[in-house]
Amino acid sequence: MNGNFLSKAKAVVVGHAVGDALGVPVEFSKREELDKNPVVDMRAYGTFRMPKGAFSDDTSMSLCALDVLGGDKINFDRVMENFGKWYYGGKFTPTGETFDVGNTCSLAIENYFFGKKSWRECGMKGERDNGNGSLMRIHPFALHAYRLNTDEKTKIRIVELASSLTHAHERALIGCGIYSFLLWELLDRPCLESIVSGLKTAETYYRNRAESEKYRRVFSFANLETLRRVEREDIRSSGYIVDSLEAAVWCLLTTSSYLSCVLKAVNLGGDTDSVAAIAGGLAGALYGYERIPREWRESLLKREEIEALCAAAFAENGKE
């Protein structure tokens, strides 16, 4: 297998999970509260009374995908079955307990298991189904698509199908696509300029799809003069997919290390675990595995299992 790609994939997966775990104890905290008592390290308990290093549904649902990936084709029924094992049985969680499940994800899973809808039809398609619940788990599919070394349209098709398992509205599909373009550019060339080129590529790709207008501001971040005029108070860190993606990209573009990126994301408040996870996966691609603080990596619950799933998913056909 190509060790270079596996190393990059591991940095993304662990970078995501560490960001998630940093944000779990303070999820839903107001920005003003965190300004007074900012997160600077892994914490225990907090919002969900979870131990230090515990990750949320963001990482659990990502592990559901990693457990299935490998080879050229994705069995989306198996992904949905794993979502069920997580949602109903606590598998792929840090403590055996499922917590903090988004409404859109839970409805989609219930559609599959109780509504007997196929994986192509179980995802939610309404205007109100545009939370970040597919964006927060899309990186394993984006990594898989990248590894296949296929054409742009095929890669985006994989990502959008993966999003639609739970979030099938056009806006959610495009948000996951934008993230994927950024990730692919960073995997090819890990530098800040790749974020800019990724935004430009995504804007061009989606220019004829009406919902891309919702992402106008994140596309504008490709202009660094525009970016400099964006203040922290302009950034919303809610669970809405557009807000979450904007916040994560802003944190990535306005910091210079993995540590500073994810801490900036967490301390925005709001949907702290998801914004930090989304930012953390991209920051992992940018800075590499070794730049994720060792103490944080070692504090991450089930880290060895996470890395083993990553290795199994990407153990063959790596890409230079």
Percent of the chain with pLDDT over 70: 98
**Dihedral-angle region of residue 8 (phi above 0 means left; psi in -120 to 50 means alpha; beta otherwise):** alpha
Region 49-77: mean pLDDT is: 95
pLDDT over threshold 80, residue 105: yes
State pTM to two decimals: 0.96
Is 131 a residue whose pLDDT tops 80? yes
Q: Output the pLDDT for position 1.
A: 36
Domain 3-313: which topology? ADP-ribosylglycohydrolase fold (1.10.4080)
Q: Dump pLDDT digits (tens) for 219-235.
A: 999 998 999 999 999 99
Under 8 Å between Cβ of 66 and 13: yes
Please state, in angstroms and rounded to a whole number, the distance separating the CA atoms of residues 62 and 74: 14
Q: What does the pLDDT look like over 157-174, one tens digit per residue?
A: 999 999 999 999 999 999
pLDDT in tens, 193-217: 999 999 999 999 999 999 999 999 9
Q: In this predicted structure, what is the pLDDT of residue 319? A: 40
pLDDT band at 316 (very low <50, low <70, confident <90, very high): low
As a whole number, the mean pLDDT across the chain is 95
Please report the sign of the dihedral spanned by the C-alpha atoms of residue 243, residue 103, residue 211, residue 169. positive
pLDDT of residue 317: 45
Residues 214/218/219/223 CA torsion (nearest 10 deg): 150
